[in-house]
Amino acid sequence: MSSVDSVAAPAHRPGVHLEVPGSRPLTPELVAAVQEVCDRAEELGDEPVVVHLGGGPDDGTPPATDGVAVHLVNKWERALRRLERLETATVAVVSGDCSGPAVEVLLSCDYRIAGPDLRLTLPFWAGEPWPGMLVYRLANQLGVARARSLVLFGTALSAQRAAEVGLVDEVTETVAAVTAERLARARDFAGTELAIRRRLLLDAAATSFEDALGTHLAACDRALRRSDRTAVREAPAR
């Protein structure tokens, strides 16, 4: 599988696809691959993004560190932020050993499907868990209590445990069939409205009720206006 596959692939494999092996290090090529997927998704509009993560067992080889500096990390974080703000659904499919940047991509996706052989570990650097925006996403998505052992000690998680804490949405042995079902469902919710709901969700933990109220009311007003327009279009002519 190439880093980016065209949506013009066979019908059994629709969507925009990205593959990030579980042991792949952070490189300029990986940043470019994520940006290319975002370009393609924005061009197509309503096609979901499917991210394939993980793979075979880790061979114990530490990831390459040459060429990694803070400017590359900044580009990576911006690419992930773009991925998690697309106006289409993003579905992650993860199995085997998943660590490093693959975990960061996982946390940037809307829906996460895991195989039963998943073993998830946080990125490590110089023997310590990586302190990037992964920590922010974990605390935001899981809460500080559940994220604590992951962030402080790099605790590894099985597929079942990852589902229990909310890092993945479901664990299944029929990954291909479940993914096809979720993609079919995701197409019904692509567009600006999906992006708005996602943004409200992501901002909720860091926003006070008073500050959030206006944004939520604006979103509700938008939904009501859209409903009114639909009702007018569907009303029988007199």
Helix, strand, coil distribution of the chain in percent, nearest 5: 50, 15, 35
Contact assessment for residue 105 and residue 83, using Cβ atoms and an 8 Å cutoff: yes
User: Which pair of tokens denotes residue 201?
Assistant: 């969700």
**Nearest to residue 150, comparing CAs of 120, 111, 171?**
120
* This prediction's pTM: 0.84
Q: Please tell me the least confidently modeled range out of 65-69, 188-192, 223-227.
A: 65-69
What is the sign, positive or negative, of the torsion defined by CA atoms of 185, 191, 193, 199? positive
Q: Quick one: average pLDDT of 98-113? A: 96
Question: CA-to-CA distance for 219 and 35, rounded, in angstroms?
Answer: 28
Q: Does 1 score more than 50 pLDDT?
A: no
Report the pLDDT value the prediction gives residue 190, as an integer from 0 to 100. Answer: 75
Report the pLDDT value the prediction gives residue 14, as an integer from 0 to 100. Answer: 65
Q: Does 5 score more than 50 pLDDT?
A: no
Each residue's pLDDT tens digit, 18-70:
999 988 899 999 999 999 999 999 998 888 999 999 975 554 444 555 567 89
Q: Which H or E run includes 50?
A: strand 49-55
Each residue's pLDDT tens digit, 71-88:
999 999 999 999 999 999
